[in-house]
Each structure stands twice: as C-alpha cells, then as structure tokens.
Structure 1
Amino acid sequence: MIFRIRSQRKFDEKKVKKNEECTLDGSVDRKGEPAVRERTGSWFAAILILVNQGLATLAFFGVGVNLVLFLTRVMGQDNAEAANSVSKWTGTVYLFSLLGAFLSDSYWGRYKTCAIFQAIFVVRKFEEKKVKKNEECTLDGSVDRKGEPAVRERTGSWFAAILILVNQGLATLAFFGVGVNLVLFLTRVMGQDNAEAANSVSKWTGTVYLFSLLGAFLSDSYWGRYKTCAIFQAIFVVGLISLSLTSYIFLVKPEGCGDESTPCGKHSSFAMAMFNISIYLIALGNGGYQPNIATFGADQFDEDHPNEGHGKVSFFSYFYLALNLGSLFSNTILGYFEDKGMWALGFWASAGSAIVALILFLVGTPRYRHFVPSGNPLSRFCQVVVAAIRKWKRKFDEKKVKKNEECTLDGSVDRKGEPAVRERTGSWFAAILILVNQGLATLAFFGVGVNLVLFLTRVMGQDNAEAANSVSKWTGTVYLFSLLGAFLSDSYWGRYKTCAIFQAIFVVGLISLSLTSYIFLVKPEGCGDESTPCGKHSSFAMAMFNISIYLIALGNGGYQPNIATFGADQFDEDHPNEGHGKVSFFSYFYLALNLGSLFSNTILGYFEDKGMWALGFWASAGSAIVALILFLVGTPRYRHFAPSGNPLSRFCQVVVAAIRKWKVAIPSDGDELYEHGGKENLNGGSRNILHTKGFKFLDRAAVITSKEISMENGDIKSPWYLCTVTQVEEVKCILRLLPIWLCTILYSVVFTQMASLFVEQGAAMKTNISTFHIPPASMSSFDILSVAAFIFIYRRVLDPLVARFKKSDSSRGFTELQRMGVGLVIAILAMIVAGTVEHFRLKYKDNDCTNCEGSSTLSIFWQVPQYVLIGASEVFMYVGQLEFFNGQAPDGLKSFGSALCMTSISLGNYVSSLLVTIVMKISSSDRMPGWIPGNLNKGHLDNFYFLLAILTSADFVVYLLVANWYKYIKFEGRTEKLEGCQHRSNETTKLSLCGADLKATLLDYKARCQEQELNQEGVDFTRTDATQREDINPKLLGKVTLEE
C-alpha cells in the first residue's frame, strides 16, 4: 500500500543556490522565485515607491489643491457649489481605487496593477530566470516582476519603498494641487455658491475614495498592486493633463479671472463637461491608485525577516508623511498660485508632479516585490456559500527550488510565480519604490483635487455650493472606485497589475485634463485667477473636462487601495525584521501621501490660484508619469501574492452551504470542521484562518458529513455543498469589519471639510500679511506638517510610552482600534475649534461687502489649530485604519481591506454633500440665506461645524461598543523556518520551502513529527478500509489520499 500526498496546485521547484536568506512572509522576486532578503524589497524598493508616490501626489494635488478656487474664479461657481464639485471629483478619484485594488488582489498583483494604472503601456512578459547563487529569498511569498521568488537583496526593501513614498508624495501633491482649492475653484471659476461648492467637493472627494474599491478589486483580483498602481496613475496623469488644458483653454476666462475679486464668466456645456471629465478622471486615477500604492509599498518588506519586519512597520508612517508632505506643497505653493487665479499653472504643476511620480514608480520596476493577485473575491464568496458534497483536491505543479536560498514564508511569489527569494525581492527596496510612487501619484492627484473647487468656480463657472458639491461627488467617486480596484486586485489581476493599469488610467486622465484645460477651458488667456473668471464653455469642453477628471478618479481610485497593500506585500510578516518593516510601511506610506499633497498644496496650488491651471495640471501629469515609471522600475524586485479569485462567489458558497445544512448539528470542537491540508489554502498560497466563535450558523458550511465523502477516492463535492473553515472565517471577518468601517464614515465627513468649507472659510478671512497674499487652500499645509510631526511623535514618543505602561508583554502601545478611537476624539475637538473660529470671524465681518473674500478682519492664521487637529487625527485614524484593515483582512482580500479605508472617505464625502444639501434646504427656508450661502457673512457656518461635532460624538459612542465587540482574526502558523530554501527529493519525501507546502508521505511524516497532528488524531496506518477513513480528522482528508 502506498500513501501519496496529493498537491493542491502544481509548483515547479528550482534549485536555490547556497548561503542566501529568503524572506519569511512568502514573497517572491520578479521571477516568481523565493525573495532573497538582501536583493529584494526592504527600503531600496520602498524608497522608489515612496518617491513615486510623492511625485504622483504632487501631480494630482497640483490640480486638486486649488480646484475649489478654480471653480469659483474661473468656472464661476459660488463657494458651496465649488466645494461640492471638488468633493464629487475627489470622491471619484478614490472610487477608482476600488478598481485598482480589485485588479491587484484578484489578477494582476500589486506591482503590475500599480504600473498599468500609472501609465498606458504594453506590459511586456518577463522570461523566467534561475535564481543565482548566494541569494536570500523573501519568506512572505512575494515575487519579482518575472514571477520568480523575490531575492531580498535585489527586490523590495527600502529602495523600492522610498520610490513608492516619493511617488506617493508627488501623487498627493498632484491630487491636492487640484483638490485643496477645488471649493474655491467652484465658487470663483465655476460660479457655484458656498453650499453648492462644498457639496460638490464632498461628492468629488467621496468619489475619489469610492474608486479605491475599484483599484483594490482590480489589484487583489486580477492585476496585482504594481499593475494597478501603474494603470491608475496613468489615468491620474491623463485626468490632470485634461484638467489643465480644460482650465487653460475654456474655464479660466476671461484671462485673470478666478481670484478673490474677479469671478469667471459662464462656461459652455462642453467646457463644463471637459472639466467634470477631467476631475473625475483624476478621481478615478487617484482613487484606483491610492489603496494599492500603500499596500504595494508594504509588499516591499518581508515581515518574516527581522530587519525588514521593522521596516514594514515604519513604512506606513513614512507613507502617511509622504502623503502629507505632498499635500503640504499643494496647500502652500500651489494653493497660493491658485488662490491668485493662476489655476492653469497650478493644475499643470500637479500634472507634472503626477508624471514625475509615475516615472519614479516605473523606475523601481526591477526592484519591486509582488504578490500574485488572489483572483476575484466575489467568485470566492459565491464558492464559499454553495459548498461541494464531494471532497476535491487540487494539485499544484511543484517546481524545483534552488539550494540554500531562504525564501519568504508568507506565500508570496516573484513575477514569474515562483516562491519569492528573500534577498532578491520585496523588503525596503521595493517598498521605497512604492512609497515614492505613492508620493508622486498623490502629488499628481492633489495637483488636481486640492484646487478643484476653485477651478469649478473660477473656470467652470459654478457657484460655491455647486462647486463644493461637485468636488464632494468627485472625491467620493475617487474613493468609490477603490472598491473596483480592490475587487479586481484580490480576484483576478493581483495588486501589481492592478496598480499598473489604474496608474496608467490616472496618467491618461491627467494628460487629458491638462490638454482640455489648456485648449478649451482656461479661455480667454489669463482667466481663472481670483479676479478674472473664465467665460462660458462649449458642451464638448465640459464633456472632456468631466471625462478627464473621472478618468483621474478611476485611475487614482483603483490604484490607491492596491498600492498600500502591494507595498505591505514586500515584507514577510513571518520574518522578524521584515515583520517590523511591514508595520512601519503604512506610516511611511501615509507620510509619502502627505508629502505629495504638500507639494500640490503649496507649489502647484500657488500657480493654480494665480490662474495657471494648465501649468498645474501638466505638473501633476508629469508627476504621475514619473510615479508610474518608478513603479515599473521595481518590477523585478516586487513580491506578489496570487489573486484568490472572486470573493463574492466564495461568500455565496458559504451562505448556500450553511442554508443547506441548517438542520446539521454544529460540532463543539472547531477542529472537527473541514479544512484543506497544510497551512496554506488553495487561494494563491493564502494562509488558513483559525476557527473563531460567533456567527455559528455559518459554521454549518464547514461541517463534513458521511454523504460528502466518496468511498472510492476520498474527494469532496463542490464548494457549494462543503466549505473550508478558512472560507467561512473569510465571511465572518468581513462581517466583523463592516461595523468598524461604518463608524469611520463620519470621521471622513469631518476630514472632507478641510478641502471645501475650510478653504471657503479661509477665503472670507484676512489673507494678507502686508502685501503678501496667503492662498486659503495653502492653509492645509499645516495639516500636512501636523501629520508629519505626529507620525514621528507617535512612533517615537507616544507608542513606546504607552507600551511601557501596559501590563502585557507586547512591545506595541495603542492597538489599531484604540488609535482610531483617539482619532475620532481629536476630530470632535477640531470641529469645535473650527466652529469657534467661524463664530469670531462673523463677529469681525464686513457687513457691507459685495465680494466678501477677505471681508473679515480676523486673520486666516486662526485656522491653524483646526488644521493641526485634523492632521493629528489623521495619524491616529487613517494610519490606524490602514494597519487595521490590512492586517485583519484575509490574505486574498488585502487590497479590499485598504479599499475599505478609501471607501470610508468616499462615503464621507457623499454624506458631507448630503448634509450640506439638507442643511441648506432647512436653514434657507422662509427666505433665509441659510448656514452656507454664497456670502458666508450672511450665513452660520459655525452652526454646521458644531453639528458635525455632535454627530461625531454620537458616532464615537457607537464606535466604542463596536470596537469592544470585535474579535481579531487568527491565522494558522506558517511553515517552520529553515536555513536556506532547500530541496530534498526521493520516492517518499519532498521538502520545499520558499512558500511551498511541506509534503511527505504519512509514514515519513509520522516518523518525523510523532508529537504533531497525525499522532494526535490516532490514525491506524495499517488500515485502508472506508471505516478507517471516517476516523481520520476531516482536515487530513484534504491532505491525504490512501491507495492500495
């Protein structure tokens, strides 16, 4: 009688050469071989990603930072309309992140996804290469661009992470170059009133983050984080370029309009359409890019490696710092120019930043680590629901792994699909590339988004309320697209492919926006500043504008949820050093995002505020292009995780299987439930999840009955009849995350006010120091500086201090849930402070003003405390969210976890838009001007801020109850660490590391592991009859086939 181990998937092993340590988290290099620690990932890759992110952020915020001013000055919108328009556009940006995350997690992987979304390009196939001698592979399963295990020294780590951080900073700069002044753009250029502009900005911003679902879907499902980030950054660049052209040619007309004193004229339908297309292209690009770039940066660190593990922990802090630095530049320099009516200049600067971010992202392509997309999560959810009666086992092809190389232990692979070698993939090299990519993409995105409300008012002719509403819708759409990105990433494309594709869409959107603004919108020449609104625009111009900004929203939305996860994929969390690096990565990721938005809010914002919209948009496009290039550069170093398939099908399978077995008794011992053999399941090497209590009805889907065991071969029926414990726990995990996620939406409502009503409030205050004018959108620089400061204060002071006073042995201070709660409290204080400042602004108002910008004698610097408090709350809330959702999401839904963060922002923008609409409808009854009228001196904006403080306080109480109820996910341990990626083969035993399963015959396994699982189960090895099979633990049925 022969006992034969049947593999779940075939895996070609290659010989791994001697004396190299691989990552422990399963990551692989670009060839698909185990990631060698010293040659992949770590800070080299992370720095490239950081630079890429910075440049992309610069490009985005070069458009977005003063978009609200552009809308008021050039587009003729009032304050509310401009703020609304900016919110819509921003929302669209982040909505596209869903597409990026979906493609990355599902099909492409994070590297491929990031690359495609940063630029439109043909992804060339990489030939597999043998892993050279003396290289250590990653242990997290990441792979390089060729699908081989990521070699630690040649992929990932801080080199790639820094590129991603810079990319994030530049992309943030580009995004906030549009978004930070979008409410002013809507009022001054687009002619919207204050309430309408605020509503528009909220909708746009919500759309931006909504697109993050698209980016996360594409990244996790199909493209992977790299490809998703690249594609959405490309869309982001196209959107910024389109916005720049539209503003320059059509919206900022007559020349010199769009500043405080000179609103722009009415615009043609074409100009309005082009404007909306551009800002929602930006929303798509930034939305699809954002959830992927942070993950992609984290992917560059092997969390199973001691050094890279620490780097991964640090990355997210630096990522958020890069994001804030990018927005700081947008809020100051770009915001200044846009506030002066130079909208086209600000948008072109954002486009340039996005182009540079895309280029930097692509530069790191050879160094990035990737995780193969885990397939469409929707299909997996459906598979989970309807469980199969027959037992089935899926063989995987075994590939030889070269000797003495240490591979990642987390199941990551390189670009060739082979186990990631630690030294040649992932870690900080790949993570840094992702961080730079994120910074540049953020620069590019906010180069459009930060001043989008101004662009809508000054160039597109919307009033303040309409512009604010448009921006809110666009922003919400951006983040809504993050669901699409996450779905595609987790289900089909993988994070790399998803990031690349959505970054490419992002670049296309930025270029389209720049061209549209230059040719059609910013007309007559010189319009779009504070004093010279632009004329009416044709229907074609308006259509091109809308197409451009929503391409940007798609690209950024689909890219964002995947790039963060793809960055995290570069770290092997099972490796001591890389595990710490993975935790750090999210902080650095958010830092890169803020650095990108800093440039957008300052430099690009200044030019856009001066009416140089086309210049700002082109700068954003350039930043996005550079970010995409940097992302692609790290391709050989990235580690990947295979997409785990459609989660919806798995979800449905669990529900259907549980319903079919509603009469079946649930075992008291969770070990009696069915699970695949080994510590990794069939979904791309994802870890098995341990059984937890709660939602007991779903446990019936994993109950195995005698009818479901075939006596001939031991196969299990389809998953519509019988599901694994891991599939059931996936559904439980999502159900547990949803209440936490819902509680973060109101925080995002508070956060979105910074891009709309804060800007309009600042525009009505004293903005001059002697003869120097301070753009209102530039005040968000204090938010970015606050983020940068609090990231270091938290990591170096607060967290160690809290950890010292905790009774547990944990080296960590606050948990992620505690951090998010602190963020809510600080947000409440920020709204109270903002309302108090508005109360005193009204006390010193000028009642006889006609153009009431700067009509109060209260200095704009009184806004500093509310910006600082918002920045502090971001460090606790959004960085905590990134770490929490990334860590608590199942392995096949990592980008979806990041997309949840983006979607929270998306819905926050939409809720903000809805609140503004409801408040204006109620408060403007009986012929009253309302709380947020076009002339804020006649309104009561302070009441609106206090209302938000009350709503957030109620949300905090609910959050405390939900957080106390939440149960953390528990994964089954990885394959034990061995020195080197060894291969031993004979008739009875095969041992393969670098992310592969440990396989042996039962006889050999029993001899070597007598105290382990088989001995505990009491299996009689001398019997082969059907009765004996019934005695075997159901878990073993997925492992072993008994043959005569």
Structure 2
Amino acid sequence: MEANGSQERQPRHGSLSADHESQQLQPGDARSNSKGGWITFPFLAVAMLGLGVARGGATSNFVVYLVKKYNVPRVDAAQISSIALGCLSLAPVGGAIVADAFFGCYPVVAVAMVFSVLALVMFTLTASLRCLRPASCPLDAAAGRPCELATTGQMAALYAAVFMLCVSAGGARFNQATLGASQFDAAADRDVLFNWYFARFSIPDNVSWALGYAISGAASVAGLAALLAGTPYYRRPAAQGSPFTGLARVAVAAARKWKVNLAAASEEQRFYYGRRGAGSAGDKDGDDVSDGTSSLAAPSDSFRFLNRAALITDGDVAPSDGSVFRPWHICTVQEVEDFKTVLRILPLWTSSIVLSVAFGTQINFTVLQALAMDRALGGGFTVPAGSMTVVVLVSVVVSLVLLDRALLPLWRRLTGHTPTPLQRIGAGHALAVLSLAASAAVEGRRMATVREEAAANDPAWVSPLSATWLVLPLALAGAGEALYFPGGVTLYYEEFPPPLRNTSTGMVAVIIALGFYLSTALVGVVRHATAWLPDNNMNASRLENLYWLLAVMVAVNFVYYLLCAKLYKYQKVGK
C-alpha cells in the first residue's frame, strides 16, 4: 500500500523531544521496574470496559429513545444523535490538551469517570420519572393525533445528561489509551493495549430504559473502582505544558524571519539546537549547544521555509549559554522538525474524515431501518432497534481477536514483517466501501417489500424482511473499525513528537466528531435537495440512494488515501 518500502527515520535534532523523554520513566531505571507493566492491565481494562458500557448504554439506543420517549420525528432524532455523538467525539481533544498542559492523564481520567457515573444517574432519572419526559405517543398513532412534545425543561434534563457524558468522554476516552500506553516500554505491548482499547462493548437495553441505564451506571461505577484500585501500580507521567505553544512559536518565528535568505544564512548564521549543556537524544555528554559549528545535523529540507524559525539572529539567545531571550523569535531545530511531522501527517488525517461521515450516517440510519423491519427472533423475543448497532461492537471484538491471534501472526510468517499502520487503515477503507454497498442492497430489498404491499403511505407498516439482514453490513463496518481506528491511533502515537502524544491519540476523536457533524450537514443537504428522506416515514424514503452516494464518496476518498499513503514516509514506526 505504501510505495516507500523504506521506513527511514530522520535524524533526531536538538533537545526538545529528548528533554521530554528524559522526564518520562525510562525502561532501565528503578521506578520504571516498580511501576507499570502488565500488572496494570486488569485495572485499566475494567476501567475501559466500564466507560465503554456507560457510553454505549447511553448512545446505542439514543435515536430510539428520542423517538419513543421524547416523541422526536425519526430523521430529526438521527440528526440530534449525530450532534450528540459529535460532541462525545470532539470532547476528548480538550481532555487531551488539559492532560498534556496541566494535570497529566491519571487525574483527568479519574474525574472523567466520576462524570460518567453522574451522567448515567441522570439518564436513569429521565427514564424513570414521568415529569422528565412527555407522555407516550404510540408509533402507530393516527395521523390526526398529534404527539405531545417535550417541554424545554424536559429537554434540558436530557441534554444535561448528554453534557455530563461528553465531559466524561472528554477526560477519559483517549487519555485512557495514553495512560495505558505509558505503562509499557515495548511497542508490541502498546499495540495490544491499543487493540483492546477499541474492543470495549455495550450492554443493550432489553427490559426497560431505566434498567438499561442503571446497568450501564453500575458498570461505570465498577470501572471507576477498578481505576482507583490500580493507583499504586501506575506510572503517572507529569504534565509537560501545552503542546501547542511550541507549534505556535515555530509558525510565528518563521513568519517574522520570512525575508531571511536561507541559502545565505546557512553560511553566515547558526541554527539553534537548545541551551548549552541541555543534551540531545543522541549525545549523552550534553555538548550539543546553540553553537552552529557542532556536528549536529542541519534541519531537513522538507518544508524548508520553516527552517527560518531555528536561525539565530541578533538578540535571540545569550552567547554565553544559549538561553533564549526572545522565545517567539527563535525555536530549536527539534521544535521545527516536530512541526514538520504534524504537517506530514495532516493529509493522511484528512483522508479519514469522509470515512467517519459515512460511518456516522450509516449507524444512525441503520437504527431507523431496523424500526421498519421484522425484529422478532422467535419465542416472543424482539430485538430492540437500537441494539442492532451492538453487532458493530461485537464485530470489532471478534475482528481484533482474529487479528491478534491468527491473521497478524500468519501475515508475519508469510511476509516476514508486521502489517504497517497504513496498511491496516487502508484495509479498513476497503471494508467500509463493502459495508455501505451491503447497506444499500439490504435497504433496496426492504423497499421492494414496501412496493409489493403498496405500503409507501403507511409509516407504521413493518416489512416482513428480517432485521438480521442488517448484520452483514454492520459486521463489515465493525471489521473496518477494527482495522482503521487502532491503526490510526498507532500511527499518530508513534509518529507524533513525544510532547504531542496525548493530543495525537485525540486526532482520531476529531475525525469522528467531524464525521458526525458533517453527517448532520450532509443529511440536511439531502433532505433539502431531494425527497429521499421524508421526516417520519421510512416506507416512503429512498435511503438506498443515500447509501450508494456514501459508497461512491468513500471509494473516491480511498483513492485519495492511497495517494497520501504512497507519498508518506514513516519517521518512527517500526524502529
């Protein structure tokens, strides 16, 4: 998938990342041997599972909850769900920044788990207390019988629960992965952690809304207890300050020195590598100073215009020890290289946005499809429509087990190397196209039964087509997730500079959030421009057209991804 078979690592420059790494627990020191390791895995796994159950229990049936308990029109419910899921996905970016800049991962995760418990308590109250929701409106109500709408106060109570869940996701969702990764020294162990981080699943609601939320709340309490119980064993790297300050300084310093002639400057001026005696990743003696005559490598030629930020000009640094006088005029070479690393990854990152848009749209509308299909499994048991999405989560778990225990070892035996993150992400893209095509085919078959029975004008009519036909597209979607999400987290975590590692795992969160928000916008455009999505009648819809549109978009985006992957050169993965 990548044409650049070589995975050269660029020379390490300066002291920024070296200083950051030196502040972390090193594999050889006593503290590292007494803290972290596999003893922490059970505690972290239960905490991750507890958070996954809480989030899944609150969101997997959210569309159905809005339709059945708050009398929200179906397509509007899908839109509201997308906005809520976007919030749940974007909040982890803020949580990663807070952890990086101020508190570190562990306290942020602990507080977030408390908010998870509070959120599920609030969801349970909305499901239990009649005063917090409108009167029930049967789905087969006559057209002339309007349903009671929720009051502002009732919606405020529901949105308060969603807000607390967003705070919980913001603090814990990706900081959990970073906290877990910091417990292990070997990259292979971190890969296992990242894989199982995405194997969390939710318990569907089969009995009552209140009981379903209560079960999720109990799981969240268990997760919080497990996290706290493992406290004596965790490595707890300290916060390193805002990771974005250094990036901003590079941009500002390069802009201020825009008129400097780099070709002439390379002979007459020196590049700044850090304060004298600070040391570097490759120099144990601490002799790499701001003196440009040292043997340190010059900045790389890619994005060469940024190298101006590391040029020493009059008044930038002290001649005696290299300390910085004007921090927004000068940066170390390593800070410049870190900024370049972020720029190199951005095209790959953008290639995942369309994938996330398609996934968010597919999940929400699959729930609406299930509401209009036969969900009986025999024995009087009917599968809740929202619980159909659990197929995705089960598929993720099964796919990760197969990958870890069978497919990846087989790949290594056949090829002599492990699949790269880009190869895993690319395979996920391909499965996403197949999943959307399968969803379109299933919806086409459902609409065929609608036409056979002339039921297009009856919104309450349920197709005799079994909802189990939705298992195939959902299973393909889950298998795709098991490939591209862990692959993406591994790529960002390993390739990003150490000061940005908490934030790097949040890059996936931004992709997911953008996907849900853009999904809302896409559905809005489709509703405005076509008659494919009527408000409250799936039997008069042309949902299969939307799925085919998404399949084409993802296929075209796959070509863009392949181009980005071909041009990208790994900096650290595999080293």
The Cα shift of 1:358 comes to 1.3
Give the match for residue 749 of structure 1. 357
Higher helix share: 2
The alignment's TM-score, normalised by the length of structure 2, stands at 0.85
Give the match for residue 430 of structure 2. 825
**Are the equivalent residues in 1 in contact too, given 2:392–2:475 (CA < 8 A)?**
yes
Corresponding letter in the other structure for 1:760: L
Q: Which of 675, 678, 693 matches 2:279?
A: 678
Q: Specify whether residues 270 and 700 from structure 1 end up closer, same or farther in structure 2 by C-alpha distance, changes over 3 A only.
A: same
Corresponding letter in the other structure for 1:803: R
Q: Specify whether residues 711 and 210 from structure 1 end up closer, same or farther in structure 2 by C-alpha distance, changes over 3 A only.
A: closer
Q: Which of 99, 122, 129 matches 1:242?
A: 122
The Cα shift of 1:792 comes to 2.2
Give the match for residue 196 of structure 2. 318
Q: Secondary structure at the match of 2:563?
A: helix
Q: Specify whether residues 970 and 353 from structure 1 end up closer, same or farther in structure 2 by C-alpha distance, changes over 3 A only.
A: closer
**Are the equivalent residues in 2 in contact too, given 1:235–1:281 (CA < 8 A)?**
yes
The Cα shift of 1:839 comes to 0.6
Q: Specify whether residues 170 and 714 from structure 1 end up closer, same or farther in structure 2 by C-alpha distance, changes over 3 A only.
A: closer
| Map 1:608-1007 → 2, pairs under 5 A | 651-653=251-253, 655-659=254-258, 661=260, 665=264, 667=266, 673-676=271-274, 677-680=278-281, 691-704=299-312, 710-712=318-320, 715-753=323-361, 755-770=363-378, 771-806=380-415, 811-812=417-418, 814-845=419-450, 847-848=454-455, 852=459, 855-924=462-531, 930-970=532-572
Cα distance in 1, alignment partners of residues 298 and 541 from structure 2: 56
Give the match for residue 371 of structure 1. 237
Q: Secondary structure at the match of 1:378?
A: helix
Give the match for residue 288 of structure 1. 171
Q: Which of 198, 213, 229 matches 2:93?
A: 213
Alignment of 1:266 with 2:149, yes or no, is yes
The Cα shift of 1:199 comes to 1.4
| Stretches of structure 1 lacking an aligned partner (at least 5 in a row) | 1-6, 12-24, 29-33, 36-137, 142-148, 304-308, 386-650, 925-929, 974-1044
| Map 1:478-627 → 2, pairs under 5 A | none
| Map 1:450-469 → 2, pairs under 5 A | none
Give the match for residue 637 of structure 1. none
**Are the equivalent residues in 1 in contact too, given 2:90–2:509 (CA < 8 A)?**
yes
Percent of aligned pairs with the same amino acid = 28
Give the match for residue 7 of structure 2. none
**Are the equivalent residues in 1 in contact too, given 2:455–2:539 (CA < 8 A)?**
no
Corresponding letter in the other structure for 2:544: D
Cα distance in 2, alignment partners of residues 678 and 362 from structure 1: 37
**Are the equivalent residues in 1 in contact too, given 2:421–2:491 (CA < 8 A)?**
yes
The Cα shift of 1:935 comes to 1.2
The Cα shift of 1:235 comes to 2.0
**Are the equivalent residues in 2 in contact too, given 1:261–1:851 (CA < 8 A)?**
no
Q: Paired residues, what number?
A: 534
Q: Specify whether residues 658 and 761 from structure 1 end up closer, same or farther in structure 2 by C-alpha distance, changes over 3 A only.
A: farther
**Are the equivalent residues in 2 in contact too, given 1:180–1:755 (CA < 8 A)?**
no
**Are the equivalent residues in 2 in contact too, given 1:220–1:374 (CA < 8 A)?**
yes
Cα distance in 1, alignment partners of residues 370 and 468 from structure 2: 9
Q: Specify whether residues 27 and 361 from structure 1 end up closer, same or farther in structure 2 by C-alpha distance, changes over 3 A only.
A: farther
The alignment's TM-score, normalised by the length of structure 1, stands at 0.48
**Are the equivalent residues in 1 in contact too, given 2:132–2:157 (CA < 8 A)?**
no
Give the match for residue 629 of structure 1. none
**Are the equivalent residues in 1 in contact too, given 2:494–2:572 (CA < 8 A)?**
no
Give deviations 1:133-155, integer Å, cap 9, x for gaps.
xxxxx44x8xxxxxxx73424x2
Cα distance in 2, alignment partners of residues 27 and 727 from structure 1: 17
Q: Secondary structure at the match of 2:301?
A: coil
**Are the equivalent residues in 1 in contact too, given 2:75–2:536 (CA < 8 A)?**
yes
Give deviations 1:698-752, integer Å, cap 9, x for gaps.
0121233577565555545433232111110121122122221111111112222
Give the match for residue 162 of structure 1. 42
Give the match for residue 246 of structure 2. 380
**Are the equivalent residues in 1 in contact too, given 2:355–2:554 (CA < 8 A)?**
yes
Cα distance in 2, alignment partners of residues 666 and 181 from structure 1: 62
Q: Secondary structure at the match of 2:469?
A: helix
Corresponding letter in the other structure for 1:273: A
Cα distance in 1, alignment partners of residues 371 and 98 from structure 2: 40
The Cα shift of 1:849 comes to 8.4
Give deviations 1:640-686, integer Å, cap 9, x for gaps.
xxxxxxxxxxx534x34543635663649xx97431342259xxx9x
Cα distance in 2, alignment partners of residues 906 and 805 from structure 1: 38
| Stretches of structure 2 lacking an aligned partner (at least 5 in a row) | 1-14, 287-295
Cα distance in 2, alignment partners of residues 689 and 903 from structure 1: 35
The Cα shift of 1:795 comes to 2.4
Q: CA RMSD in A?
A: 3.1
Cα distance in 2, alignment partners of residues 933 and 837 from structure 1: 21
Corresponding letter in the other structure for 1:786: S
Q: Which of 28, 33, 38 matches 1:152?
A: 33
Give deviations 1:219-243, integer Å, cap 9, x for gaps.
1111111111112222222222222
Give the match for residue 409 of structure 1. none
Cα distance in 1, alignment partners of residues 544 and 554 from structure 2: 15
Cα distance in 1, alignment partners of residues 421 and 265 from structure 2: 33
Q: Secondary structure at the match of 1:969?
A: coil
Q: Specify whether residues 944 and 678 from structure 1 end up closer, same or farther in structure 2 by C-alpha distance, changes over 3 A only.
A: same
Q: Secondary structure at the match of 2:239?
A: coil
**Are the equivalent residues in 2 in contact too, given 1:202–1:910 (CA < 8 A)?**
yes
The worse-fitting range, judged by mean Cα deviation, of 871-880 and 188-197 is: 188-197
**Are the equivalent residues in 2 in contact too, given 1:175–1:282 (CA < 8 A)?**
yes
Give the match for residue 346 of structure 1. 212
The Cα shift of 1:376 comes to 1.1
Corresponding letter in the other structure for 1:799: L
Corresponding letter in the other structure for 1:319: Y
| Map 1:186-201 → 2, pairs under 5 A | 186-201=66-81
Give the match for residue 202 of structure 1. 82
Cα distance in 2, alignment partners of residues 216 and 379 from structure 1: 15
Cα distance in 1, alignment partners of residues 213 and 321 from structure 2: 65
**Are the equivalent residues in 2 in contact too, given 1:689–1:725 (CA < 8 A)?**
no
The Cα shift of 1:933 comes to 3.2
Cα distance in 2, alignment partners of residues 161 and 662 from structure 1: 53
